[in-house]
Amino acid sequence: MPEIKVENVSKLIEGKPIVNNVSMEIPDKSFFCILGPPRSGKTMLMRLIAGLEMPDKGRILFDGEDVTALGPVERRVAIAFQDFALYPHLTAFDNIASPLKAMKLPKDEIRRKVLEVARYLKIEHRLTHYPSELSGGEKQRVAIARALVKDAEVILLDEPLVRLDYKIREDMRAELYKIQKEIGKNVILITGDPFEAMSLGERIAVMNEGRIVQLGTMEDIYERPVNVFVGRYFGVVEMNIFDGEIVKMNDVASLRTKIFEIPLKNARNLPEGSVKIGLRPEHMSVLELAGKREVNFRGKIVLTEVVGSDTIVHIDAGLGELLRVSVPAIYRRQIGEEIDVGFDIENLYIFSSKDEKLLARGGDLIG
């Protein structure tokens, strides 16, 4: 079960760096996640780790051994592709057995292994069917079975759930987690859905424009996003970002915005002048349901978006950008209605307006 090390790896396509000088370590036997928006280079990074592509610069080490020039088989890596990549002319059984046939294993051993993994993924009743006859969920299970059957050291899942119907994705997420725990192999998940990364990845690498912007556990990235991009991108509902200002008058500092002002205790190392304030919708609440908070203000409803059991209320509170407030219930109101919302100061994020780096959390300023 290799500990994977990526050292200054770069890959250029027609001169443009798709993966730009990436270095990271993926611990052994973990559920590692590479998260990034479309065209952030995450799929290419996966292909480099898998050995489907060779880097133009840098090295890749499995347990300290340089595998940069080796292909997927020598690296004992298995891949489940985003579009399933099943062989259309082979039955589900032959698709799963394909890696074992390539290894020229005896027929009965192949049959035993395929049946075992098919039962495990609950598709043993569909083995004689061709991919065109399978549902999305079933095709995904066959793709994962094909990756698991040859007990490779590393299993790479390239956006495995993106093609699935919304509801099936919910169940598959829990199952992927269960699978990783039971097979104890190194699983690397590539995804564009932050919610998927949050619920599955023990360690997450957030990528943007070919670089690793932040790497850490779910809590690290959620609590201490390195900049506005990670703050906005890494969350169930996109973080609210609006302009504010640090004002320092005769050694009394305060954080001022268009509609509220907060006195700050230790703001010594904060630069004066404009800053970007971040506030997660789930850290805000509607007074009518959750009572008063440390800071409260009024906003006009633009849209109430019911997301299954919760609701995201979009309000215009005069801060320029619309604010999103997360309400843990079905909460439908007319457009234009006024509601009071609030938040606690400790949940604030302060970013520099120059390079958008995280300067401090609300808790650091009033502690």
Partner 1 sequence: MPSGSKSSRLPIFLQLPATVVIWSLVGYVLLWLIFTLFHRYPPGKPPEFVGLGNIVAMLQDMRLYGAVLRTVYYAGLGTLIEVLLGMAVALALVNLIKNEKIRFAVLILFLLPMCLAEAVASVIWLMLATPEGYLNCFLRALGMKAFPWLSARWALTTLMIADIWQWTPLPLLLIYAARSSIPVEAYEVAELDRLSPWTTFRVVTWPYIKYAVVVAALLRLIFMYITIDKFILITYGGPGFASEIIGFYVFVQSFGYRNIGYAATLSFATLIVAAIITYFFWNAFKRRE
Partner 2 sequence: MVRIFLDHVTKIFGDKKKRVVAVDDVTLDIPDGAFVGLLGPSGCGKTTTLRIIAGLETPTKGRVYFNEEDVTDWEPRKRNVAMVFQFPVLYPTITVYENIALPLKAAKEPEAEVRKKVKEIAELVGITEFLGEKPVRLDVNVRQKVALAKALIRDPSVFILDEPLTVLDPKARIELRTKLKEIQLGLKKTMIYVTHDQTEALTLAEKIAVMNAGKILQYDTPEALYNNPANTFVGWFIGNPGMNLIECNVVEENDKLYLSTEGGFRYDISFIADELKKLGLPKNVVLGIRPEFVEIGSGPLEAKCVHVEYAGNRIILHLESYDRTLKAKTPITVKAKPGDTLRIDFVKEKIKLFDPKTGNAIL
Partner 3 sequence: MSWKKILGFIGLAIYGVWTLGPYYLTVITSFKKLTDVFSIPPKIIPYADFVPTLEAYQRIFSTRAAWTFVTSLIVATIATIIAIIVGLLAAYGFSRFSNAPMNDERSFFILLTLRMLPPFAVVLPIVTYWVFMGLIDTYFALIWTYTIFSIPLAVWLIKGFIDEIPRSVEDAAVADGYGFGARFRKIIIPLLGAGLAATVALVWLFLWNEFLFALKVAGGKVITYTAYLPQLRLGQRTLWNVYAAMGTLGSIPPLIILAAFRRYIIRLYLGGR
Biggest distance spanned by C-alpha atoms of the chain: 83
Nearer to partner 1, 75 or 126 (CB): 75
Q: Which of 1, 69, 102, 174 binds partner 1 (CB under 8 A)?
A: 69
Q: Which of 3, 53, 340, 346 binds partner 1 (CB under 8 A)?
A: 53
Nearer to partner 1, 52 or 85 (CB): 52
Interaction of residue 89 with partner 3, rule CB under 8 A: yes
Interaction of residue 52 with partner 1, rule CB under 8 A: yes
Interaction of residue 56 with partner 1, rule CB under 8 A: yes
Within positions 277 to 336, which residues make up the interface with partner 2, using CB under 8 A? Answer: 280-283, 302-310, 314, 326, 328, 330, 332, 335
Interaction of residue 218 with partner 2, rule CB under 8 A: yes
For residues 71 and 60, the answer to whether their CB atoms sit within 8 Å is no
Interaction of residue 195 with partner 2, rule CB under 8 A: yes
Q: Choose the stretch contacting partner 3; rule: CB under 8 A; options: 95-103, 117-125, 166-174, 268-276.
A: 95-103
Q: Which of 2, 36, 55, 72 binds partner 3 (CB under 8 A)?
A: 72
Interaction of residue 102 with partner 1, rule CB under 8 A: no
Least distance from C-beta 53 to partner 1, angstroms? 7
Q: Which of 19, 26, 50, 187 binds partner 3 (CB under 8 A)?
A: 50
Binding partner of residue 122 among partner 1, partner 2, partner 3, none, CB cut-off 5 to 8 Å per kind: none
Interaction of residue 306 with partner 1, rule CB under 8 A: no
Q: Which residues bind partner 3 (CB under 8 A)?
A: 47, 50, 52, 71-73, 77-79, 81-83, 85-89, 98-99, 102-103, 146, 150
Q: Which residues bind partner 1 (CB under 8 A)?
A: 51-54, 56, 69, 71
